[in-house]
A = this chain, B = another copy of it.
Amino acid sequence: MRQVIFEKAKFLQHIQAKLGEIKDGYCSIELPIQDFHLQQDGFVHAGVQATIADHACGIAASTVMPEGKIPLSIEFKVNMLRPAVGERLVAIGTVLKAGKTIVVTEGEVWAYQGEQKKLTAKMQATMAVVEL
């Protein structure tokens, strides 16, 4: 079920994101960096980072919801910490507080160059718990 949120999201395919791991209160999404992800300075666009972080947060939130409920992004805030450059990005979403109507999550985006990684963005995202 959680996987469906990834597979049915056409925009995630369009940017060539790949589902990583889903665990309780956790989801990771990988993105091999391509030329078309970049903004005018040669860094990955903030919107790309926001997309994978928000989506990872949404799937993480879905893991703490009862059957028949799905997450919908109410809002998020993201700080861009360093230029996002490298071979690939990994977005990680985790649940901070699971409520009945609202799930609060945190997202991180890491840029990898070989084994080296650095944190490029940090998000706080609020998800509504809605009927399927």
Contact = CB atoms under 8 A, between A and B. Distances in A.
Nearest to A106: B122
A128 B104 contact: no
A56 to B, nearest CB: 11
| Best-surrounded residue of A11, A37, A119, A128 (most CB of chain B within 10 A) | A11
A74 B45 CA distance: 12
Interface string A38-57: 11110011111011101100
A60 B124 CA distance: 20
Interface string A1-44: 00011101111111100000000000000000001111111001
Interface in A52-99: 52, 54-55, 70, 72-82, 96-97
Given A9-B38, A48-B47, A124-B122, A75 B77 contact: yes
Given A47-B54, A104-B122, 5 more contacts: A11-B47, A45-B55, A47-B52, A50-B51, A74-B126
27 contacts: A4-B40, A6-B40, A9-B40, A10-B35, A10-B37, A11-B37, A11-B38, A11-B44, A14-B15, A14-B37, A41-B70, A41-B72, A46-B73, A47-B47, A47-B48, A47-B50, A47-B54, A50-B76, A73-B80, A75-B77, A75-B126, A79-B97, A81-B104, A97-B119, A101-B101, A101-B128, A126-B126
